[in-house]
Amino acid sequence: MYLTSLAIISATLIGSISAQTVFYGNFVHSVNVTSLEHATNGVIAVDRSGKIIQVETNASASQAQQIARKYGVSLFPLGNQKFLMPGLIDTHIHAPQYVFTGSGMDLQLLDWLNTFTFPRESRFNNTNYARSAYSKVIDRVIRSGTTAASYYATIHLEASKALADIVASRGQRAFVGKVNMDRNSPDYLIETTAQSLKDTEAFIQYVQGKKNSRVAPIVTPRFVPSCTSELMRGLSALATKYNVPIQSHLDENLDEIAWVKQLHPDQPDYTSVYDSHGLLTNRTIMAHVVYPSDAERQLLKQRGAGISHCPNSNLSLRSGIAKIRQMLSEGQKLGLGTDVSGGYSPSILNNIRNGYFSAIARSFEHPDDKYLKLAEMFYLATLGGADVLGMKSSIGNFVVGKQFDALIIDPLSHGSPIDLFDHDDIKTTFEKFINNGDDRNIIEVFVDGRSIHRI
């Protein structure tokens, strides 16, 4: 039966939490790409800066009380069925596209952009509209358990500032990027090269000027077709000048790849276009990467770029099924992205599930590409995502010295889609949450040890 020695403790889960906290109960996290650790009597002590200062995987109730007394705080017991897990990490999400999430799923990428994305994004020239929309998407994403994200905004400077402000006010950890588009874009959603670079520099200075350790700017050329060579080189220079990361799209759709080849016939492939313009570095995040050649994968690995796997979007827009098993075996930096609104759900849990089925579908025609296991998918959603964001040393799992970005999961919360039985232990309960749970089960969200959402 799923019971621990915590049964002897009379506990109330949600209460006032001191600046320094000692949690006691069940937790699950990734040890590496193939291994999960399930602790049933775990202790995680968090200091006032949100840093993890002690971790125990099998402590008695009295030992846990002693640890709490050592730090001079009350013990925070989780109870019998609840558990802690690291916060989920979304390495690729378009914040303005949340306003039409779930629309246009009968279209492929380029038609979808022209029919839905560009008209909807143009409305973000109204900063009041932007603030309203961004408040909704950030709140939704946090409720879905995402503690760190890499956001695309739009080309509009003031609206992009508003997104950074809202993320900071909510306490989430994030990269925020003002999008760049100076060619092959509709008249109502295009910049001049000079204005794009000027506004991008102003945005970087604005976000860095906030001096918020959790929110940082990221250089964001939309994709090669929408950016001239002059703009791409200028953005590379800004990324170097201000020491900020870069994000864009790569090898998502076959028509897109053919278009890039027409635009840059001097380059051998799509990846090389970014590389030749100085945009492929060890701080670059490339979304999708569904159709990379062997040479492109080698170049991505050589440069140390991260890849955001977006299985929901890849299926919804019928782009294709990425070679995730192959890229994992090659040691590529890989995380998960919702790609809202190409992906219809802002939940990384949804992308874990779509990631399963994408890999299974690919394995039917490519038997060497074995399906992905739970440990691997959870790694992509947490520690792998941290690696893609360049934060693997500070977030992604429960290790002493890292920041406490975490979720409290209650599989039996009000309205829960999960039922437990006497044979369920922490392993099966965790698996039930990953495969069946939703935001109703995520009863508290922590970033830097601070509660930013609770139900």
pLDDT, tens digit, 9 for 90 and up, residues 222-274: 999 999 999 999 999 999 999 999 999 999 999 999 999 999 999 999 999 99
pLDDT, tens digit, 9 for 90 and up, residues 184-202: 999 999 999 999 999 999 9
Other beta carbons within 10 Å of 19:
12
Type of residue found at 202: A
pLDDT, tens digit, 9 for 90 and up, residues 280-325: 999 999 999 999 999 999 999 999 999 999 999 999 999 999 999 9
| Position 373 pLDDT exceeds 50 | yes
* Residue 6, pLDDT score: 34
* Residue 10, pLDDT score: 30
* Residue 14, pLDDT score: 34
Query: Where are the domains positioned within the chain?
Result: 21-86+398-454, 88-389
Average pLDDT of the chain is 94
* Residue 19, pLDDT score: 44
pLDDT, tens digit, 9 for 90 and up, residues 403-436: 999 999 999 999 999 999 999 999 999 999 999 9
Q: What's the start-to-end Cα distance of the chain, in Å?
A: 27
Type of residue found at 39: A
Residues forming beta bridges with residue 175, ordered by sequence position: 150, 216
| Position 13 pLDDT exceeds 80 | no
* Residue 20, pLDDT score: 86
232-235 — which CB contacts under 8 Å span 24+ positions?
232/274, 232/277, 232/278, 232/279, 233/277, 233/278, 234/193, 234/196, 234/197, 235/180, 235/197, 235/200, 235/279
| Position 55 pLDDT exceeds 80 | yes
Nearest to 338 by CA among 306, 369, 315: 315
* Residue 381, pLDDT score: 98
Bond from prior residue into 394 cis (ω within 30 degrees of 0): no
| Position 1 pLDDT exceeds 60 | no
Q: Grade residue 370 by pLDDT with cuts at 50, 70 and 90.
A: confident
* Residue 371, pLDDT score: 87
Length of the chain: 455
More confident residue, 40 or 20: 40
Q: Grade residue 89 by pLDDT with cuts at 50, 70 and 90.
A: very high
Q: Grade residue 61 by pLDDT with cuts at 50, 70 and 90.
A: very high
* Whole-angstrom distance, CA of residue 349 vs CA of residue 272: 33
Nearest to 287 by CA among 323, 327, 333, 252: 252
Q: Which CATH number fits domain 21-86+398-454: 3.20.20.370, 2.30.40.10, 3.40.190.10, 3.40.50.720?
A: 2.30.40.10
| Position 363 pLDDT exceeds 50 | yes
Does domain 88-389 fall into CATH 3.20.20.140? yes
CA dihedral 429, 435, 441, 445 (to 10 degrees): 100
pLDDT, tens digit, 9 for 90 and up, residues 332-348: 999 999 999 999 999 99
